[in-house]
Structure 1
Amino acid sequence: MVSPLLKLVLLFRLPTRHRSLFLSNSSQHQTPPTSQSQQCQQQHVPPQPPPHPLMRNATGQPIPFHMPPLHQPPPPMPPQGFSGRHPPPPPHMGIPPPMPPPPLPHAGMNGIANGSGTGGGRQPLQQQLGGNGRWKGGGMFDSSPNAGGPSRFTAASSAAGGGGRQQLMSRFQAASTPAAGSGASNFQPSDDWSQLLSRNERMERELFSGTTTGINFDDYDSIPVEMTGPDRESIQPVESFASMTDFHPVIGNAVKLIGYQKPTPVQKWAIPTTLAKRDLMACAQTGSGKTAAFLVPILNLMYTEGPGHSQAAVRANRRKQFPVALVLAPTRELASQIYDEARKFSYRSQVRCCVVYGGADIGSQVRELDRGCHLLVATPGRLVDVMERGRIGLDHCRFLVLDEADRMLDMGFEPQIRRIVEQDTMPQKGQRQTLMFSATFPKEIQHLARDFLQDYIFLAVGRVGSTSQNITQEIMWVEEADKRACLEELLQNRAPDALVLVFVETKRGADQLEGVLYQQGFPVASIHGDRSQADREMALRNFRTGQTPILVATAVAARGLDIPNVVQVINYDLPSDIEEYVHRIGRTGRVGNLGRATSFFNDKNRNIVKDLRE
C-alpha cells in the first residue's frame, strides 16, 4: 500500500493533464482483483494486455495498445545450402509445390520434334499425355537457323513404375542458331551442313519481303562476254536457275523465295566457274548482280563439302572463330549489303554468317563472332583489328572474295589486304579458292590478281569500265551559282515516289545542300564519312523505303550500294576521274531497270571532257 502522503507528493509532481488519470488508476487498485490469468482460465479467453493508461478515445474509453513481447523467439534456421542473402522461401504447409510445366519454345526458337533425338524425321513439336497426365515424349527443341534462339532444349522420357508415371530428364545446352546473323553463345552446330532445316515464317518475311530482283535479262543476251584462261572451254554457262540441278536444296529454296529466274551475264559465267573450283577475276558493269555471282556458288560448295577442319579448331580454341569463307569489301555499307544477301542464301542451313566493319562498336561485333562464324564479311581495317585481338583465325579459310577490289585499292587498303592474305595463317593460293570482282581493271588490280590468283579465269562482261546500257546520261552546263536553282527545278519535276541520289564532292557540301533542300520543303537526308554508323544506316533505310526519297551523298555511297528503284542520279559536283563517274551513275539502272544520270558541268570539269565523250 502507498501512503496518502506519498500519493500527494506524486500527484503534485505529475503534469496537470495526468493528475485525474493517476487518481482514477490509484482508486482502481484499492481492491486487489483476481489475476488476469485466473480470469482467462475461467472465461476460456486468451489473455489480453491491459490498455495503456494514457491512450483513450474521444469518449474516454481506453484504446487497446498491444506491447510487443520483450523476448522474440529466434528465427527458423535456413535450409542447408541456403546462402542467407535473401529471406528463405515460405513453407508450403506440408503440401509439395506443383511440378513446373516443360519449357515452351520462345519467339526466337523453332519447335522441332525428333522422335529419335537425332537425325531426320523433324516434325512440329507434339506433347503427349500418359498415365497421370504428366508430359512425356522424347523430342528436341532446336533453335531455328535464322530465328536467333539462345538455347537448345533436349528432353527424353522413360517409363518408371506403374500408373503410367513418366520421368522427365531435361538439360539445357548453350547453343547458337546456325544461321546468318543470329544465335547465342557457345555455338556448337552440327558438322553436317547438308541438311535443309525447317521453315521459319517470321524469318522468311524478314529476309524476303520486298525483294525486287529476279528480272529476266533478255536484252542482256547481246552484251559481249570475253572469257580467257586455261581450260575455259570446259566451263558451260548457266542459262536459267531452274536448270541448275546441282544446286543444294538450301540454295534452290532461297532462289525460289528471292524470285531469280534468269541469271545476269556475270552470274551466267561466274557461277559455273566457281563451282568448278577455279579462281576468277571478273570485270562487269556496276549493278549487274555480282554479289549473288559469288555467294551462290560458294555457299553451295560449303553445304556439300561441310565445314572441314574449322569446327574441330573452334572446339579446340573456343575463344577464336575459324571462318570457312571470307568476303572483303571496301565500305561498311557494301559489307552490310553483302551480309544481308548472305543471310538469304543461308536461310534454313547450318551455316552462320557474320559481318564486321569500322565505325561500329567492336565489342558487340566480337560477341556476335563468339556465337559462331562460318562466312565472314568484313572491311579490311576492322578485320585486321579483330585478328590482332585473337578472335578470328584464317587457318581453315577455303574461299576468299575481294569485292570492289579497285575501290579498296583506291581507298588505300592494299597494305591491310596483303597483311590478311599473305602475312597471316590463311592458306596459300592453290590451297584456297580466290575470286576478285571489280568494275575496272587497272594495273594495280592486275598485279593483285597475279599475286593472289592461280590459273585463274578472266571474265569481262561488256566493255570494261563502261556504264550500263540501261542508263540514259544527260550533261547540263550549269554555272556554280545556278546549281541550287537548277537542282530544285529537277526535284520539283520528279515523280513523288521516285528515288533520287544526289552526289557532291565534300562532306561540308553535303550538309549544306541538305539544309537548303530541307528549308525548301523537300524530303531529304544525307550521308558521308563523318556521320555515325547509326545515322548512315537510318538515312539509307529511310531512302530505300521512300520516307526520304532524296539522298545527298559523298563518294562513300558511290560504290557497291544496291538500292533498287533509284530512278535518277544527279552529279551535283562531277568527280575528277571517269572511273568514279562510272561508279556513281551505276547506282541507277541496276538489275535490268531503267535509269537516268544527270550531271552538272562547267569550266571546273574540263579535265573530264575527253573521257566523257568516250
Structure 2
Amino acid sequence: MDQTVGVDQTDPNPATQAPEAVPMTEQQSADLARAQEAGWTNQVAFDYDAFQSMGGNNDNWHGAGQVYEWRDEYGDVAPRVPELEAILFGGEFQMRRGEHLANLELQVTIEGAMKPKPFREFQEAGLHPVVMENINLAHYARPTPIQCYVIPAVNMGLDVVGVSQTGSGKTAAYLIPIVSKLMGKARRVQGPRPDINDPGSMVRAEPLVVIVVPTRELAMQIFDEARRMCYRSMLRPCVAYGGLPMRITREELGKGCDVLIATPGRLGDLMDKPHILTMSRVKYTVIDEADEMLHSDWEDELRKIMSGGDTNDDADHTFLMFSATFPKDLRSMAKDYMRDDFVRIRIGRAGSTHKNITQNVIEVDRDRKRDAIYDLLFSMEPGRTFIFCNSKITVDLLDDFLYNRGLPTTSIHSDRNQREREDAMRAFRTGKTPILIATGVSARGWDIMAVRHVINYDLPSTMYGGITEYVHRIGRTGRIGHRGLATSFYDPEKDEGLAQDLVNVLVECDCDVPDFLSHLTPEDTKNINFDDNSEDEGDGGASLDDTNGHHDAEDTGANGFTNGINGDHHGADASAAPAAEEGFTRDAGEQGFTPDAAGAYSAAW
C-alpha cells in the first residue's frame, strides 16, 4: 500500500497550506520505518478543545484565562470551586519538586542596612491562611533559597533587588508575600468592580500590583502563577501583552484588576489611555528579568513605568527587581527609584548556573550541524527538548528540516503571530510537539515542566548576550531539583570569542571540558575570574543550610513524549511525514554520533 502524508489542516497560516496528501519519498518511508521500529504509536490528532490554555473563553486566548471571581455574598471565607481548582492546580500545572534540591544550596549574600531573617518552612513565614492553602494545592513542599530571603524582606516592606540563577523560584518569591499582604486587607484596597446588575458595565483598571516582564510567553506564565496564588481571594489578576487583541485586554481589565502582569510595550500603551488604566493606586512594582529588558532597549519604557505614570496617591510604593545578573545600568536604575535602604539578595554568583545540569560541548562545523542534531536527537531517549538558534531564519529552516524527517517539532520567534505562539506553547507544554525550536530572547524566563534537554544549535554570540545568554538558555532544564542535560554545538569559526567564558562555566559546575577546549582550563579552578559586570560588594555572604524547596513551576510528571502532533507545526511543507508516527529511536549507539552523547544523557537521568 502506498503511504501518504496528510497536511496539517489546523495550521492557521494559509501560506503553509498545501495539497491534502503527497506520496512519501523513499527517505521518508525509511524514516517512518525507523521510528515505528522504535515503538512509536499511531498518529493522534491534536485536540484544541481538550488542551485549552488553562480554561477561559474569548476564542481560547491565554489572556482571557479563567480566574476566581469573588462575590460579595461570600463573606470572609470564599468557597472552593473544584472545576477551576482542577484547571489551576491539576494535570500539567501541578508542581512537584525534583529529587536533587541539595545542589541548589548556595552561598547567600545580603547587602543593605536591614537584613531579613530567613525562614526554612512556609509555615514560619506568617502568610495568609488562604495563600498557605494555595501553596499546598500547588505542592510547594519547602521554599527555595531565594524565597527564604525575599519573602521576609517583602513582609518587612523593603525594596528588593534579587539576583539568582534561572529556575530558582523567583516568581513565587515575590508573588507569595505580595498577595499574602494584600489579601489581609483586600476588602479595603481592592480595585473597583463593574455593577453586577449591568452586564455591559466596565470599570477603569486600578491595579495594586504591576509586574513587568520582557516577553509575552513569560507574561502568560506569571499570569498562571498569579491565578493560582489569588485563588479564593478578592484579588483579580489580569495580563496584557502585545499580540493579544486589545478588545480582550480591555474586557478583562474592565472587569477589575488588582494584579497586572504586562510586557513593557503594551503597558506603556495602556498608561497612555487613562480611561482604561491608572497607576495611581499601585503599591508594588516588580521588574522581572530586568537585565534582559535593558539588553532589549526597554530602558525608557521601564523608567516611565518605574515613575508610575502618575503619582501613587498614598506615597506607599515598594519596588522589586529580579535578574540573573546585576549589571551597571541595572544598578543605576535601582539607585534612581528605590529607597536608600533597599536590600540586595544574591544567591550564588551572579550569572551562574548550577550542578543539576550536565553540560556537553561538541565541536561541529556549520555545514554539518543539521545532520549532527538529527543524529543527536535519535541518540537520546524521548523527552521535552528545547533547541536554540540565533536567528529566525535558522529556526524556520531547522524546523522544516526536522519536521520533514518525521520529528515532532514546532517553533517560536518574533515573526510568529500571537495565535501561532500560543498554540506552539500549548503543544509543547502538553507534549504533543515535544521539540521546540526558538530564538534565545523568545524563550527568556520560560518555566515548563520536565524539559529534559536543551540544545544550543547555535551558541549565543558575544555581541548578543554571550555567556549570560548561554546560562539563561540552559536554565530551561534542570529546574528546582530536577536533573537536566544541555548540549551545545561549538563552531570553531564562529564561537572562539565565547570559548573562555564557556570553559569557566563548565569548570565551575564540575562539567567535563572537551579536549578541543582543554587548553583554556584555568590553572586555579577554585578561583575563576568571571567578568560579569556585576558588583560583588557585601558582607561576605551567609550560608543558608537546608533551605532547599520547591519552585513555582516544575513538574516531574510527563517526562516523556505523548503521542501525536497534528495541528501544532507551523511552516513545514506538504511533504512532511506524520510526525507522531515517527519520533526518536532509542538506539543511541547505532547512530554514529559522538560516543559520549548517549552516556551523558543516561548519566543525567
User: Given the two structures, how large is their TM-score scaled by the length of structure 1?
Assistant: 0.67
Secondary structure of the structure 2 residue equivalent to 1:242: helix
Q: Distance in 2 between matches of 1:193 and 1:409?
A: 44
Superposition CA RMSD, Å: 2.7
CA apart distance, 1:421: 2.3
CA apart distance, 1:468: 2.0
- Residue of 459, 472, 476 corresponding to 1:583: 472
Match of 1:613 in 2: 503
Q: Distance in 1 between matches of 2:268 and 2:253?
A: 14
Closer/same/farther in 2, CA of residues 449 and 216 from structure 1, 3 Å limit: farther
Corresponding letter in the other structure for 1:444: D
Secondary structure of the structure 2 residue equivalent to 1:270: helix
Match of 1:251 in 2: 131
Corresponding letter in the other structure for 1:503: F
CA apart distance, 1:308: 4.8
Corresponding letter in the other structure for 2:215: T
Secondary structure of the structure 2 residue equivalent to 1:604: coil
Closer/same/farther in 2, CA of residues 475 and 449 from structure 1, 3 Å limit: same
Q: Distance in 1 between matches of 2:132 and 2:108?
A: 26
Match of 1:466 in 2: 352
Match of 1:601 in 2: 490
Secondary structure of the structure 1 residue equivalent to 2:109: strand
What is the CA deviation profile of residues 94-119 of structure 1, one whole-angstrom value per residue up to 9, with x for unaligned ones? Answer: xxxxxxxxxxxxxxxxxxxxxxxxxx
Contact 1:337 1:561 in 2 (8 A): yes
CA apart distance, 1:558: 3.0
Identity of counterpart residues, as a percentage? Answer: 40
Closer/same/farther in 2, CA of residues 194 and 218 from structure 1, 3 Å limit: farther
Match of 2:150 in 1: 270
| 1:236 matched to 2:125 | no
CA apart distance, 1:222: 3.6
Structure ID, larger Rg: 1
Corresponding letter in the other structure for 2:113: P
Match of 1:177 in 2: none
Q: Distance in 2 between matches of 1:479 and 1:297?
A: 49
Q: Distance in 2 between matches of 1:339 and 1:531?
A: 21
| 1:510 matched to 2:395 | yes
| 1:493 matched to 2:374 | no
CA apart distance, 1:240: 1.3
Q: Distance in 2 between matches of 1:523 and 1:147?
A: 25
Match of 1:437 in 2: 322
Q: Distance in 2 between matches of 1:341 and 1:475?
A: 34
Closer/same/farther in 2, CA of residues 501 and 352 from structure 1, 3 Å limit: same
Q: Distance in 2 between matches of 1:512 and 1:529?
A: 15
CA apart distance, 1:243: 3.5
What is the CA deviation profile of residues 513-537 of structure 1, one whole-angstrom value per residue up to 9, with x for unaligned ones? Answer: 0110011111111111000111111
Q: Distance in 2 between matches of 1:429 and 1:217?
A: 45
Match of 2:370 in 1: 484
Q: Distance in 1 between matches of 2:301 and 2:187?
A: 26
| 1:347 matched to 2:228 | no
Match of 1:448 in 2: 333
Closer/same/farther in 2, CA of residues 181 and 432 from structure 1, 3 Å limit: farther
Match of 1:362 in 2: 246
Match of 1:225 in 2: 108
- Residue of 299, 304, 308 corresponding to 2:184: 304
| 1:411 matched to 2:291 | no
Q: Distance in 2 between matches of 1:551 and 1:149?
A: 26
Closer/same/farther in 2, CA of residues 413 and 428 from structure 1, 3 Å limit: farther
Count of residues paired in the alignment: 433
Match of 2:416 in 1: 531
Match of 2:265 in 1: 381
CA apart distance, 1:319: 4.3
CA apart distance, 1:305: 2.6
Corresponding letter in the other structure for 2:483: L
Contact 1:307 1:324 in 2 (8 A): no
Listed as ranges, the gaps of 5+ residues in structure 1 are: 1-145, 151-179
Q: Distance in 2 between matches of 1:526 and 1:446?
A: 35
Equivalences for 1:67-78 in 2 at 5 Å?
Answer: none
- Residue of 454, 463, 470 corresponding to 1:569: 454
Closer/same/farther in 2, CA of residues 263 and 490 from structure 1, 3 Å limit: same
What is the CA deviation profile of residues 29-76 of structure 1, one whole-angstrom value per residue up to 9, with x for unaligned ones? Answer: xxxxxxxxxxxxxxxxxxxxxxxxxxxxxxxxxxxxxxxxxxxxxxxx
Listed as ranges, the gaps of 5+ residues in structure 2 are: 1-53, 59-63, 196-200, 505-605
Corresponding letter in the other structure for 2:325: T
Closer/same/farther in 2, CA of residues 314 and 368 from structure 1, 3 Å limit: closer
Closer/same/farther in 2, CA of residues 319 and 204 from structure 1, 3 Å limit: closer
Higher relative contact order at CA 8 Å, sep ≥6: structure 1 or structure 2? 2
Q: Distance in 1 between matches of 2:118 and 2:363?
A: 44
- Residue of 283, 297, 300 corresponding to 1:398: 283
Q: Distance in 1 between matches of 2:84 and 2:191?
A: 26
CA apart distance, 1:556: 3.4
Corresponding letter in the other structure for 1:363: R
Secondary structure of the structure 1 residue equivalent to 2:172: helix
Equivalences for 1:20-39 in 2 at 5 Å?
Answer: none
Contact 1:283 1:440 in 2 (8 A): yes
